[in-house]
Structure 1
Amino acid sequence: MLEDIGILTGGTVISEEVGLNLEGATVEDLGSAKRVQISKENTTIIDGAGDSKNIEGRVLKSDLKSKKLLLIMIEKNCKSGLLS
């Protein structure tokens, strides 16, 4: 999810998992958006400064991952006889 936020806002994920920490962060690492709405269940980023090609690529990657998961679930159900 942090990677998604970074892509949408044009920011960089700062975490030890990716080898970055706050001490090494610069202004260039920060993303921006015209508006962010946060509720208990959802976060909506409106008009983020991320590159449209990167956002499109992330959406496609997410879509492929969802379809792959769906195919795995269908395959398991077919093998178990649930979809026969």
Structure 2
Amino acid sequence: MSWSWEYLPSEEHVAGDAPAEFLGAAEQRAAELVRAAEALYLDGTTYEGSGEPMQYLDVAGGIVAYYVVPRIELVVICQLTPPLA
């Protein structure tokens, strides 16, 4: 396996009508999270813990909610809260 990220349940549901600038910044941070998780969990498939709890990032004035699932080498983006207009 190799690490990746995805929206859960879907990009349409999570990203909705988020502004393009915020969405781009959120996806860039998701890629950074993948690289960090890959360095932290060298072989995530052998991980035996319960995984990390939900975490939140401030991205371009908005918030990204995500969690890491080491066993399937995945960063899950489950909520985007764009900045207020």
Q: TM-score range by the shorter chain?
A: 0.3 to 0.5
User: Which structure shows the bigger proportion of residues in helix conformation?
Assistant: 1
Q: Name the larger-Rg structure.
A: 1
Q: Which has the bigger relative contact order, CA under 8 A and spacing at least 6?
A: 2
